[in-house]
Amino acid sequence: MGAAQGPLDTRDAGIPRHVGLILDGNRRWAVENNLPKLEGHKRGYENLKTITEAAFNAGIEYVSAYIFSTENWNRSEKEVGYLMRLLVGGFHDEIDELIEANIKVVFLGSRARLSKQVVRAVEETERKSADKTGGTLALCFNYGGRLELVDAVKQIVDAGVDADRIDEDMIQRNLYQGVDVPDVDFMIRTSGEQRISNYMLWRMAYAELYFTDTYWPDFTPEDLQLALDDYAQRQRRRGR
């Protein structure tokens, strides 16, 4: 991964500040290419690095990626185990590359059900990249939009906050990574599915949505640019 150029002023450039990615179609890509389904996840992981680099170099400040949902625990034990090993191995091998590229990595999601090894990998990656300024990669791992809201409410209740003090800003601050990850401006989902699948329910309140039939492993920087060109033509009304 090459060094990110650093955040640009995107306010008047038609460039989203925060792009959310739903990385769909890895297994179908593998089947159609006569490969084991797990190979699809590997290729998808490799492509996330490519697209993230392209996004940061295009001036996007935040990229969030839905890499493992709370519902994904329902998949086979073999597949879940492979995904966990892919995460741990990937960040163990590539944290130095991310740091060299000036990329900050944060995780959004629950630590429940995660092994100690996975939690260590998550915490080490966040710690080592905490001061980087070339862009923020927010990995939604063991993540569910409804669970995020439940956990936020629990934190507020545990803090003993009076009901009349609870407002949108307080809820925002109690989300995973709170105010460190802003609202999603533009959501891209691959593979032809047209739904948000419990992703970023709070932060996507006013997001523009983009759907493509391309499977995630085949989604290229050129495809990303086509999506960004589409975004640049839209008028974000935000209820007005």
Residue positions annotated with a catalytic role: 24, 72
For residue 75 the two structure tokens come to 């998949």
Question: How many residues would you count in the chain?
Answer: 240
Residues linked to residue 19 through DSSP beta bridges, in sequence order: 63, 186
* Closest to 57 (Cα-Cα) out of 231, 234, 228, 236: 228
Q: Most distant CA pair in the chain: distance in Å?
A: 58
Enumerate helices (H) and strands (E) in the chain, giving the number of each: 7, 6
d(CA 182, CA 8): 16
* Closest to 69 (Cα-Cα) out of 136, 150, 121, 146: 146
Spatial strand order of the sheet with 18-22 comes to: 104-108, 136-143, 62-69, 18-22, 186-189, 208-211
Give the burial class of 159: count Cβ atoms within 10 A of its Cβ; 0-12 exposed, 13-18 middle, 19 or more buried.
exposed
Residues linked to residue 108 through DSSP beta bridges, in sequence order: 140
d(CA 231, CA 233): 5
d(CA 91, CA 109): 17
For residue 136 the two structure tokens come to 């923020």
